[in-house]
């Protein structure tokens, strides 16, 4: 369950449904791929101790912040720089995962 919580935070998984799909299709951290229903996962989260979730989050928060600051300093891709010359707002998507 801790591997699922870490994945949820680290990879910014938007929903329990998406986490359920990821658990079925991928090995997450030290956990093997496992088939679990969305309802079962939701129930596990409801019973997951809030103190443990808080401790994991606070341990990860400095790393998440450092990575965010590092990303802010990266140069934009050439295509994005080009598009920003012609459009006031643009949307980009990362399809790497």
Quote the CA–CA distance of 75 and 57 in Å, as a whole number.
Answer: 29
Q: How far is Cα 20 from Cα 41, in angstroms, rounded to an integer?
A: 7
pLDDT at residue number 4: 86
pLDDT band at residue 19 under the 50/70/90 scheme: very high
Closest CA to 79 of 87, 71, 67, 69: 87
Q: Give domain limits for the chain.
A: 2-86
- Which pLDDT score is estimated for 90? 93
pTM over 0.75: no
**Helix pair angle (50-73, 2-10), 10° resolution:** 30
Is 78's pLDDT higher than 70?
A: yes
Predicted pLDDT of residue 97: 62
Is the distance from CB of 6 to CB of 30 less than 8 angstroms?
Answer: no
Q: What confidence category does residue 87 fall into, taking pLDDT thresholds of 50, 70 and 90?
A: very high
């Amino acid at each position: 369950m801790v591997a699922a919580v870490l994945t949820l935070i680290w990879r910014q998984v938007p929903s329990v449904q998406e986490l359920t799909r990821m658990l079925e299709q991928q090995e997450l951290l030290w956990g093997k791929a496992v088939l679990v229903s969305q309802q079962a996962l939701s129930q596990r989260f409801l019973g997951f101790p809030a103190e443990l979730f808080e401790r994991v989050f606070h341990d990860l928060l400095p790393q998440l912040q450092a990575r965010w600051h590092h990303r802010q300093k990266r140069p934009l891709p050439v295509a994005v720089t080009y598009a920003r010359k012609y459009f006031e707002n643009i949307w980009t998507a990362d399809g790497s995962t």
